[in-house]
């Protein structure tokens, strides 16, 4: 293709453009451009037999005559000719000769030279042509004017600028840009659109438009103010949503209460210690508990509240570094640390008491008010100090447990510093032991509860303030809880309002054979438990600010399996405790059903050695004769044996403990206790919140009797609307061999039947 064929002029008066030429033939656009935009007239087709079309004036003859369409009668049809007799039809086609086989390829011999390889001719690249802008000395390009009488445009030769030639100065930008022309003849050019300044001034001062503007301005602000007031009224009159406060870790926690001297011996001296407790923390973690409550912990007279030093670990249990190691190890296992802190008394060998008794010395003058000193007094709450005719207040019938004076500012600050010390060590909660001795009457024979509530508030304020200031605590929640024997409902409310996170419900710890704590069901374990639970659950439902804390056993109470009729009933009580709302304190060994030691043992019966396995001394100690006795039944009742079984009390405990961590219904739901029917009853956990994320209910059914009992489910209000035919077994007691975890169960009949001394936990969903 030549340059002449490529660059051709366009229509008249327009910029030249490129036209393609395909296979040597010029296309229609090219022809139109050459002929000066003259378009040939369209060709008209006329069929034969139709009237002719007259050509328009000046148009060439462009009528093409088409042949006439033949009629159907004129179209000849093919005629069928039959074959004559004796004539054979044509045979199948047979080729005249067979094709020759293809010639086989024979490669060339080595003597023949190989074909010459094609080598393209190398071309030398031409230097690029550089564009130079037009200079002032050169005239601007002439506007294209087509030549009259010809279709060929006037071509301007291209000037090639060689490298190294001097550059010309470019023209100014203003001279290169075209001038703006007005859109219409006679109109002045404008740089913007809209009203002119004169027109704006005209409307600005017009009275009509000025009044209209003021009216619109006032209406706008009136409407805005009305909408603002309406929004305030809507917010004020709308029913408020109940603020859902995130519960603390303590509100559904299980605190595993260990008696440190009986838990694990690490040095072979026959007595448990803190290092031994560290060695067994993995077993505790597998249970699914939230916190470890180690007691005793501090240096005391004999593992009691008579503290000798609030900052020291009892030397029989280890050294201070062992205490730090224990706290760190518990945290490493993902659990919390709770410790007992006696706040009412100390030992008479405490440095404070020694200095207070010698307050006449100048260096001890500040300690004179740390304890309650009197000129007169009498037992059992007052004793004379070393025949000096001066009396001091102490714990009932325990002269070596003097009562500290919280009204003294020096003593109060000392105790605050002790709380701060252990918070910095990493302790997550305190059981305040002996709160009834925080304030006493002048004779010391009764607690002064209004003053006690004030002291508890001060302790709470200090703990919260220091936890927010401490770099170690970093604002974490520090738990405070306590016991109060024979506490009534008003007493529990007052303790909760004074700053305690929980008040231990002591009532269930008194359940046992022939115990008179139950007023109407003294001889029935099922009746006594049902009566107590009904009263306590009703109280907590009406007083949600009082977080319940349940304890069925502790170092001062007989073990469950020894208090009730059988170990099976003890397992039922453990199952009930794990289903109750709030915090639970589980005494070590209750997860496997340990029993009390014999009465002739050297240790307190409920403080026997932990039964870890069936090895010597139940795995508690390697000593020949441990200081803590071991129950003879450890071969059958031990931790390792039950952990290896698919059905055991330990596995039931583990299932419910872990479920409390992940199931909102079991962790924070309300509780409903069913009617007592033949020593059996049900306990239902459910969510009673509109914004609850779970729509399920968990039902525990228990039979304390010696015969089977049928407990109705369709009478439980919380199960209304749930499909009882699609229940799922969560866990069951060891002797309930007909049930296993995750087993589908159909209770659409509306009742569950349990054999003697069996229990089961079932989950229903909406």
pLDDT at residue 127 above 90? no
**Where do we find the tokens 């045979």?**
91
621's tokens: 């100690």
Q: Looking at the domain 254-342+410-655, which fold is it?
A: TIM Barrel (3.20.20)
CB 727 within 8 A of CB 715: no
- Give the angle 256-257-258 at the CA atoms, nearest 5°: 110
Rounded-to-integer distance, Cα 288 and Cα 262, Å: 21
- Looking at domain 669-764, its CATH class is mainly beta
Tens of pLDDT, residues 394-410: 999 999 999 999 999 99
pLDDT at residue 79 above 80? no
- pTM above threshold 0.85: no
- Give the angle 183-187-193 at the CA atoms, nearest 5°: 70
Q: Which CATH architecture has domain 345-405?
A: Alpha-Beta Complex (3.90)
3-state secondary structure 371-382: ECEECCCCCCCE
pLDDT at residue 137 above 50? no
CB 701 within 8 A of CB 762: yes
Tens of pLDDT, residues 180-225: 445 444 545 555 556 777 777 777 778 888 888 889 989 999 999 9
* Residue 362, beta-bridge partner list: none
Closest by CA position to 642, among listed 608, 617, 666, 618: 618
**Where do we find the tokens 């505790």?**
284
Rounded-to-integer distance, Cα 621 and Cα 265, Å: 5
* Mean per-residue pLDDT, 405-427: 97
Distance of CA 674 to the CA centre of its chain: 34
pLDDT at residue 663 above 60? yes
Contacts of 652 (CB under 8 A, 6+ apart): 571, 574, 575, 731, 732, 733, 734
Rounded-to-integer distance, Cα 683 and Cα 673, Å: 5
Q: What is the mean pLDDT of the chain?
A: 81
- Provide the pairing of β-strand 502-505 with 479-482: parallel
pLDDT at residue 437 above 50? yes
Tens of pLDDT, residues 272-330: 999 999 999 999 999 999 999 999 999 999 999 999 999 999 999 999 999 999 999 99
Least confident of 205-214, 473-482, 573-582: 205-214
Environment class of residue 374 by beta-carbon count within 10 Å: exposed (0-12), middle (13-18) or buried (19+)?
middle
Residue ranges covered by each domain of the chain:
254-342+410-655, 345-405, 669-764
């Amino acid at each position: 293709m030549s340059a002449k064929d490529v660059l051709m002029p366009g229509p008249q008066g327009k910029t030249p453009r490129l036209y393609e030429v395909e296979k040597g033939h010029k296309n229609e656009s090219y022809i139109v451009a050459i002929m000066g935009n003259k378009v040939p007239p369209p060709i008209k087709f006329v069929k034969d037999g139709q009237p002719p079309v007259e050509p328009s004036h000046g148009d060439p003859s462009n009528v093409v005559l088409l042949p006439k369409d033949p009629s159907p009668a004129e179209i000849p049809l093919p005629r069928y000719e039959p074959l004559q007799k004796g004539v054979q039809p044509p045979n199948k086609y047979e080729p005249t000769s067979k094709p020759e086989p293809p010639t086989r390829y024979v490669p060339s011999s080595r003597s023949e030279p190989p074909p010459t390889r094609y080598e393209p001719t190398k071309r030398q690249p031409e230097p690029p042509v550089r564009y130079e802008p037009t200079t002032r000395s050169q005239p601007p390009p002439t506007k294209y004017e087509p030549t009259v009488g010809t279709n060929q445009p006037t071509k301007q030769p291209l000037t090639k600028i060689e490298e190294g030639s001097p550059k010309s100065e470019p023209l100014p930008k203003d001279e290169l840009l075209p001038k703006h022309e007005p859109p219409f003849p006679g109109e002045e050019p404008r740089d913007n659109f809209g009203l002119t300044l004169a027109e704006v001034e005209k409307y600005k001062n017009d009275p009509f438009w000025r009044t209209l503007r003021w009216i619109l301005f006032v209406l706008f602000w009136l409407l805005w103010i009305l909408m603002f007031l309406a929004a305030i009224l809507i917010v004020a009159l709308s029913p408020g949503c109940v603020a859902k406060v995130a519960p603390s870790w303590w509100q559904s926690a299980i605190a595993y209460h260990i008696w440190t001297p009986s838990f694990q011996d690490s040095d072979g001296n026959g007595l448990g210690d803190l290092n031994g407790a560290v060695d067994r923390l993995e077993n505790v973690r597998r249970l699914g508990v939230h916190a470890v409550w180690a007691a005793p912990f501090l240096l005391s007279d004999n593992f009691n509240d008579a503290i000798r030093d609030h900052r020291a670990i009892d030397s029989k249990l280890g050294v201070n570094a062992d205490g730090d190691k224990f706290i760190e190890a518990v945290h490493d296992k993902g659990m919390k640390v709770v410790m007992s802190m006696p706040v009412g008394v100390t030992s008479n060998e405490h440095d404070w008491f020694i200095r207070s008794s010698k307050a006449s010395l100048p260096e001890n003058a500040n300690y004179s008010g740390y304890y309650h000193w009197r000129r007169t007094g009498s037992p059992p709450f007052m004793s004379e100090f070393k025949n000096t005719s001066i009396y001091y207040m102490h714990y009932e019938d325990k002269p070596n447990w003097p009562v500290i004076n919280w009204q003294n500012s020096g003593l109060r600050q000392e105790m605050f510093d002790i709380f701060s010390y252990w918070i910095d060590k990493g302790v997550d909660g305190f059981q305040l032991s002996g709160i009834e001795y925080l304030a006493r009457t002048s004779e010391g024979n009764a607690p002064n509860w209004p003053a006690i509530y004030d002291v508890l508030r001060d302790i709470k304020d200090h703990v919260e303030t220091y936890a927010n200031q401490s770099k170690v605590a970093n604002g974490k929640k520090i738990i405070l809880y306590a016991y109060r024997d024979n506490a009534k409902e008003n007493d529990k409310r007052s303790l909760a309002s004074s700053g305690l996170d929980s008040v231990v419900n002591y009532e269930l710890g008194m359940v046992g054979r022939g115990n008179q704590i139950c007023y109407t069901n003294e001889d029935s374990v099922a009746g006594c438990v049902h009566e107590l639970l009904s009263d306590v659950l009703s109280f907590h439902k009406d007083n949600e600010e009082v977080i319940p804390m349940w304890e069925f056993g502790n170092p001062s109470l007989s073990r469950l399996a020894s208090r009730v009729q059988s170990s099976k009933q003890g397992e039922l009580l453990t199952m009930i405790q794990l289903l109750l709302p709030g915090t639970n304190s589980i005494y070590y060994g209750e997860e496997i059903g340990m029993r009390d030691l014999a009465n002739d043992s050297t240790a307190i019966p409920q403080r026997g050695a932990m039964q870890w396995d069936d090895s010597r001394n139940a795995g508690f100690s390697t000593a020949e004769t441990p200081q803590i006795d071991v129950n003879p039944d450890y071969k059958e009742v031990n931790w390792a044996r039950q952990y290896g079984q698919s059905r055991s009390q330990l596995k039931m405990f583990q299932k419910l403990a872990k479920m409390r961590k992940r199931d909102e219904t079991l962790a924070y739901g309300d509780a409903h206790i069913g009617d007592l029917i033949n020593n059996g009853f049900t306990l239902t956990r459910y969510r009673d919140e509109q914004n609850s994320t779970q729509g399920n209910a968990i039902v525990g059914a228990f039979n304390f009797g010696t015969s089977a009992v049928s407990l109705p489910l369709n009478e439980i209000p919380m199960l209304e609307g749930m499909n009882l035919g699609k229940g799922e077994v969560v866990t069951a007691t060891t002797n309930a061999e007909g049930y296993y975890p995750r087993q589908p169960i159909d209770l659409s009949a509306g009742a569950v039947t349990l054999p003697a001394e069996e229990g089961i936990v079932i989950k229903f969903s909406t």
